[in-house]
Amino acid sequence: MIEKAHQILKEYYGYDNFRGGQENIITSILEKKDTVAIMPTGAGKSLCYQVPALLFEGVTIVISPLISLMKDQVDSLEDIGIPATFINSSLSVSETNRRIDGVNQGKYKLLYIAPERLENEGFAELIKGLEISLVAVDEAHCVSQWGHDFRPSYRYIFSFIKQLPQRPTIAAFTATATEEVKNDIIHLLRLYKPNLFVTGFNRENLFFSVVKGENKKDYILDYARSHKNQVGIIYAATRKEVETIYKELKQIGLKPAKYHAGLGTEERKRNQDAFLFDDANIMVATNAFGMGIDKSNVRYVIHFNLPKNMEAYYQEAGRAGRDGEPSECILLFGPQDVMIQKFMIEQTVMAPERKRNEYNKLQEMVDYCYTPNCLRKYILEYFGEENIPDSCGYCSTCTNDSELVDITEDALKIFSCIFRLKERFGSTLVAQVLKGSKNKKIIELGFDRLSTYGIMSQYTEKEIRDIINVLVADGYLNLTSGQYPILKITAKSVNVLKNGEKVYQKVHKKKDNLIEDNTLFDLLRKLRKEISSKENLPPYVIFPDSTLLDMARLYPVDAEALLNIKGVGQNKLQKYGDLFLAEIRKYVDENKINISV
């Protein structure tokens, strides 16, 4: 049967070979064995149940947590000629019944449903006549209370399956799962002697970096400006920060969209569609955004704040580079982030055991930010991988893309000021004293008479606060918890004051923007956008960037050559082939490019 799976892969999806791990997972499902697949974002989980669905009799039910994910997947399947549909709360009762009738009549091979649908006792009655060969559980970590996106409705999956006249094969998929989450998936879904596949968490095309001590807003504005033609996601912890970053990006002439739970449903959908359809190329969002977003051409993901745990971070960062092209995952770390996450844990987690677990996971994220070792190795070891090289050669630690600048003199001035203020104030007031501010509070408290008053007047207050943040991030200063954090001297700074140790700041070297000829790629992208607007489909559903890049590199000028491009199957060749071939031929002719046979 695996030979037929290969035929489907080429005919519908346009690929010659399965990616690492996919073939073993598909073989397990085709042998009708319960299966758990832990695969990183972008590794092609959906293909692992879509291919068997075409080979099995009857219908495959896919349990998926988000409406946007269902529509995305169904649009993509229909675009390559695979009959699929979805049922969720966005549909009327009559439309739901019409679609179930269609499934009963054999019109669809895949039926996507939301887990909440399983709580409806009448739903099992509606579909009990269907021949269900496979139930695929997407984002299966949602079944576990230890997972980072626990959804109580996932607990109904087992009772729903129990009501079916015949038990189908069950396949569970997730991108991130610790040992206890994996065990929960097997136990709570009542999987029978499941085959377990962990395809490896490594995403070789992703460049990981942690940036400490920098002014975060300045960093984001500079980065977004220098990557203005690329697609990116910026995650922030609070709605307020999302709004602020969004406005500042807009003010410098970029095309951002925003997404958080404080926006109305219609506005969230409008903004998400703008991002999916390339009308906005930067999404600024809280963690409410992203699950189930298959947009393949995201070139960078920046975390403005520390995420709550490694599972959340790796899933969110993993939304970059789903097409396999080089992409960046940048985490901006400030000590204040730890306090924000602790506050959120206190507000949202009640059970003491769960709270301890959340604090432990948060500490592991803090350790990630401070590790002097390979960032990729840290991530992979967290997820239980073994025999990992000490250096990956492709993260900010291993490439050493920073230089050390001696800031001892400024550090000594800051330490002295904090000492003279008796360690009773925060960074804002310390910066004001060092700047020589004539602020009313400074004068009233007599701080203008301190020896450290005005000794850093050559800097702005913001620049002084930035240096203080560097010193906190590197452990020379400590910030107390609470609503008004206070700066404290640490043992590390005492060594500088008493023993003359030097203080260095890591400054990231400016990267030269590589200039390459993207003319044909841009023309193909423009054509894709025109088709997407006419068909009301996101551009990446037509073709991902990786497919357009291959076209721009290889110049296919006939149907046979186009079929050899990864991502071009028979259905897409018939639908779009003539349009893209015409654009490529025109470019080749105008630029007198010699196509070798």
Mind listing the pLDDT tens digit for each residue in 420-449?
999 999 889 999 999 999 999 999 999 999
**Which pLDDT score, from 0 to 100, does residue 150 have?**
73
| Residue 59 in domain | yes
> Cα–Cα distances in Å, from 489 out to 316, 484, 499?
35, 17, 15
What is residue 294's predicted lDDT score, i.e. its pLDDT? Answer: 75
Same domain, 228 and 372: yes
The dihedral over CA atoms of 314, 317, 320, 321, expressed in degrees to the nearest 10, equals -30
Cα dihedral sign, 472-477-482-485: negative
Please tell me whether residues 71 and 151 are part of one structural domain. Answer: yes
pLDDT in tens, 139-176: 888 888 766 567 788 888 888 888 888 899 999 998 77
Diameter over CA atoms, the chain: 87
Residue 201 contacts residue 222 (beta carbons within 8 Å): no
- Per the structure, the count of domains in the chain is 4
Domain boundary among 163, 198, 233: 198
Tokens of 101: 């009738």
Q: Is the pLDDT of residue 247 over 90?
A: yes
The yes-or-no verdict on residue 510 having pLDDT over 60 is no
Last residue of a domain, one of 159, 174, 198: 198
What does the alpha-carbon distance between residue 505 and residue 572 come to, in Å, rounded to a whole number? 52
Q: Which structural domain range is residue 419 located in?
A: 405-507
pLDDT digits (tens, 9 = 90+) for 323-376: 888 999 999 998 778 888 888 888 776 677 778 888 888 888 888 887 778 999
- 251 and 152 within one domain: no
Contacts of 538 (CB under 8 A, 6+ apart): 72, 75, 276, 277, 278, 295, 532
pLDDT beyond 50 at 418: yes
Look at residue 596 and tell me if it is in a domain. no
Task: Count the helices and strands in the chain (H runs, E runs).
Answer: 26, 17
Question: What is the rounded CA–CA span in Å between residue 261 and residue 288?
Answer: 7
Let me know whether 72 and 27 are in one domain: yes
Check residue 513 and give its pLDDT: 47
**Of 131, 163, 198, the domain-final residue:** 198
Q: 37 in a domain, yes or no? A: yes
- Whether residue 595 is contained in a domain is answered as no
* Same domain? 258 vs 344: yes
pLDDT tens per residue across span 455-475:
999 999 988 988 887 888 778
Same domain (yes/no): 453, 534: no
**Integer Rg of the chain from CA:** 27
Q: Are residues 177 and 235 in the same domain?
A: no
What are phi and psi for residue 591, nearest 5 degrees? -100, 5
Main-chain phi, psi angles of 322, to 5 degrees:
-65, -20
What pLDDT, on a 0 to 100 scale, did the predictor assign at position 481? 62
Checking if the pLDDT of 514 tops 60, the result is: no
Structure confidence at residue 456 (pLDDT): 96
In-domain check, residue 514: no
Query: Are 550 and 500 members of one domain?
Result: no
Hey, what are 214's tokens?
Answer: 């920098």
Write out pLDDT tens, residues 268-315.
989 999 999 999 999 999 988 876 677 889 999 999 999 989 988 998
Helix (H, G, I), strand (E, B) or coil at 291: coil
Reported as a pLDDT band with limits 50, 70 and 90, residue 401 is low
Asked if the model's pLDDT at residue 10 lies above 50, the reply is yes
For 212-231, write each residue's pLDDT tens digit. 878 899 999 999 999 998 99
59 is written with which tokens? 């219908």
Give the amino acid at 441. K
Is 513 within the bounds of a domain? no
Distance between CA atoms of residues 379 and 143, nearest Å: 23
Chain-centre distance for alpha carbon 390: 25
The helix, strand and coil proportions of the chain, stated in percent and rounded to the nearest 5, come to: 50, 15, 35
Residue 455 lies in a domain: yes
Q: If pLDDT is split at 50, 70 and 90, which confidence band does 517 have? A: low
What does the pLDDT read at residue 489? 92
**What CATH number is associated with residue 581?**
1.10.150.80
Does the structure show a pLDDT above 90 at 574?
A: yes
| Nearest residue to 375 via CA among 177, 506, 508, 207 | 207
pLDDT digits (tens, 9 = 90+) for 67-103: 777 888 898 899 999 999 998 887 888 888 888 889 8
Q: H or E element: which one contains 563? A: helix 559-563
Run of H or E residues at 173: strand 169-174
- Residue 292 sits in a domain of what CATH number? 3.40.50.300
Q: What is the predicted pLDDT for the residue at 355?
A: 81
Expressed in angstroms, the distance from the first to the final Cα of the chain is 35
Do residues 369 and 448 share a domain?
no
pTM tops 0.95, yes or no = no
Could you give phi then psi for residue 200, rounded to 5 degrees?
100, 140
Q: What is the CATH number of the domain that holds 488?
A: 1.10.10.10
Residue 234 near residue 222, CB atoms below 8 Å: no
The answer on 361 and 278 residing in a single domain is yes
* Rounded CA separation 559/73 (Å): 26
> In terms of domains, do 23 and 163 share one?
yes
What one-character DSSP code corresponds to residue 509? P
Is there a single domain that holds both residue 565 and residue 532? Answer: yes
Mean pLDDT of the chain: 88
Question: Would residue 597 count as lying in a domain?
Answer: no
